[in-house]
Structure 1
Amino acid sequence: MGVVIGLVFGLIGGSAMTSLTYRIPEGLPLMMDRSKCPSCSHPIRARDNVPVFAYLWLRGRCRDCSASIPWRYPLTELAGAAIGVVAALTPVDTLDKFSCGLALLVGLGAAVIDQRTYRIPNALTYPAALLLLVLGIANAWISGRWSPFVLTIGLAVAILVFFVLLRVVSRGGMGLGDAKLAAVLVLGVAAFGIWSTVLAVLASFFAGSVVGVGLILAKRSNLRAQLPFGPFLTVGFVLTTLSVVIFH
């Protein structure tokens, strides 16, 4: 049952992230009006907004103007579904599962935006951080255990400071958006423990290094080329969460 709930949660969250990855870079209202086709501006019908399945029965095209729907939309929704299932399988309390899924979904949205625009917007990370803090307080209040919440805040602040220092050392090579996203992800997965958080950050840098070296060897990049780090952060934290599920 928990896996089914996680799957539905992930599909809905992935669909929301799909919308936000278009709306935020375009400067559109986030949730105040109905989604529209970017080509013909026709409002999208409710039945055409069903995650993944709508793309399949529309055959990847707008119902009104037949413009192609980008592949990243159903792929983002499928990735959201996978995140929801993984979060549901984590060996933590229900609110911690929700926090984990929410943080990873935000990471997914940030990764897509960062890949396209080389920036991670505050409009995504700030509300997520606030909601995760509220969830953390609620969990501490219900359980009566405040020490884990205080530790979570400490970890998030430490990671934020670490990334800010990296930005200073690299002279802008690491963006402040990356620092904020890292803090949000830590707020979501800190229930797994300090070492899991450290492993997630290390995995992010390892993934970025492997891809960077691979692009250089394939002569598609050079040492001075800029790579968005948001996708690697998300991958590192998702893989670490998956390892917690597998090896628990």
Structure 2
Amino acid sequence: MKITSVDELSLLLKEAEESGNSVKALTEIYPNLTEKEAYQIQLTNVEEKVKKGQKIIGKKIGLTSIAMQELLGVDEPDYGHLLTDMHIPNFGEISLANKILPKVEAEIAFVLKKDLIGPNITFEDVIDATDYIVPALEVVDSRIENWKIRLEDTVADNASSCLFVLGNERYDVNEIDLPNVTMDLYRNDELMNTGKGDAVLGNPIHCVAWLANKLSEFGISLNAGEVILSGALSAAINANEGDCFTAKFPLLGEVSISFT
């Protein structure tokens, strides 16, 4: 089938997600795909889910590390939407049905008590709008074959979003030295990697401010009550059947998930 429009690319990604069968990189199928068109594809598929009864409950930030930006040849992060059916309880289980090549990464989540409407959102605005922070795990999965993605591919694919888990303990953002928060990520009790808060644009707060300002280009805001995943503190780890992942944050507690 010859793809001739971004609407057809939206449908291609939608079918891949529903079937659990990956597709070739959109940038191979449609070489002139732009970042703006990629966000259009993302929004089209998010709006379709909302029409079917899901609700937007937050946003996620991706590509916050210099290493990932250099890998994809970009100089800024990207973002995706979090929907109701993406939230898994702490210590819950995830079915691998319809998942393709899921990976797990640990991060810090912000829950807002005020709207953040860009442009010109500052570091201090984010602190003022934050209700609390919690440790989080994000499960990312790419509908693109073998994760062979460029920026436009992951943007169109809702920033490779899949599922997320939040820790139980809530913390005041003013009481935590976020750049110096440390994290150990375990798979089946084996330490896989470590991370630190300054790995994401120097401070997760900068990530949330960037997101609020980026979203203003699309007439979208961060809203009170939403969850904001501020970016992975270390590399994503492949998940397989039977795996249990736990992120241990000395200052924020633990968050864990198992795969069945």
Give the TM-score band, short-chain normalised. Answer: under 0.3
Greater strand share, 1 or 2?
Answer: 2
Q: Between the two structures, name the one with larger relative contact order (CA 8 Å, sep ≥ 6).
A: 2
Greater helix share, 1 or 2?
Answer: 1
Determine which structure has more spread, i.e. the larger CA radius of gyration: 1
Q: TM-score, normalised by structure 1?
A: 0.25
